[in-house]
């Protein structure tokens, strides 16, 4: 059996693993923002944190398999592959390991020590941390941008532009979400409101 088809399979499956992990984070964070009591926060935070190993392993396998294909088939002159691999290396580890994971660990810790009942302010503040939501949305943008590169295979200017747009849209969607705070009934309430 040839190695390339196997590496391509690993690469695609790893990309799917990254999407599953990021999807769980996005849905979990949206649910956390609507949680009404500490027990809901505990359950949701543990669910989100449980997908972290999948995201990390998938990212590592994506890098290894992508690097293999770059070295053996595509070559260093393949601009879209270099930009895609560089984007994974530049964005995924810092966003996952330096921003999202420590903040989620803090939410889990605070939820475990908080008494059952209404969510205390320190825990609510961590849940509504704009950097956490922005980082997860940016991750989603990066991964979607990489899939765009893999399917359209643009030259270097197009690859760089596509990734800049993907990262920008991901970050902008996260920043927009961070401006919405859940109201007392659990429904969104814009912080920019003058009422």
Q: Which value, to the nearest 10 degrees, does the dihedral of the CA atoms of residues 96, 180, 170, 34 take?
A: 50
Of 101, 156, 107, whose CA–CA distance to 128 is shortest? Answer: 107
Cβ 105 vs Cβ 49: under 8 Å: yes
Angle of CA points 94, 98, 99, to nearest 5°:
100
Alpha-carbon separation of residue 30 from 106, 143, 179 (angstroms): 17, 19, 13
- In tens, the pLDDT along 86-128 reads 898 898 888 888 998 899 889 989 998 999 899 999 999 999 9
Residue 190 pLDDT exceeds 60: no
Cα gap 139→151, rounded to integer Å: 19
- In tens, the pLDDT along 10-64 reads 999 998 998 898 899 899 998 999 999 999 999 998 888 888 888 889 888 988 9
Helix H, strand E, coil C: the string for the chain is CCHHHHHHHHHHHHHHHHHHHHHHHHHHHHHHHHCCCHHHHHHHHHHHHHCHHHHHHHHHHHHHHHHHHHHHHHCCCCHHHHHHHHHHHHHHHHHHHHHHHHHHHHHHHHHHHCCCCCCCHHHHHHHCCHHHHHHHHHHHHHHHHHHHHHHHCCCHHHHHHHHHHHHHHHHHHHHHHHCEEECCCCCEEECCCCC
Determine the pLDDT at residue 1: 55
Residue 141 pLDDT exceeds 70: yes
Higher local confidence (pLDDT), 129 or 178: 129
Cα gap 119→45, rounded to integer Å: 13
Residue 85 pLDDT exceeds 70: yes
């Amino acid at each position: 059996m040839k190695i390339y088809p196997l590496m391509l399979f690993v690469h695609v499956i790893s990309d799917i693993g990254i999407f599953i992990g990021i999807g769980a984070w996005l849905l979990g964070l949206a649910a956390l923002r609507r949680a009404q009591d500490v027990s809901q926060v505990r359950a949701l935070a543990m669910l989100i944190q449980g997908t972290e190993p999948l995201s990390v392993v998938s990212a590592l396998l994506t890098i290894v398999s992508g690097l293999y294909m770059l070295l053996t088939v595509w070559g260093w002159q393949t601009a879209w592959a270099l930009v895609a691999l560089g984007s994974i290396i530049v964005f995924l580890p810092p966003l996952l390991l330096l921003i999202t994971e420590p903040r989620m660990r803090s939410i889990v810790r605070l939820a475990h020590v908080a008494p059952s009942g209404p969510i205390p302010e320190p825990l609510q503040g961590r849940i509504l941390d704009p950097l956490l939501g922005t980082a997860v949305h940016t991750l989603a943008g990066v991964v979607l941008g990489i899939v765009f590169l893999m399917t359209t295979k643009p030259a270097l200017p197009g690859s760089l532009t596509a990734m800049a747009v993907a990262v920008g849209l991901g970050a902008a969607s996260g920043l927009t979400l961070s401006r919405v705070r859940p109201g007392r009934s659990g429904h969104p309430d814009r912080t920019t409101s003058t009422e």
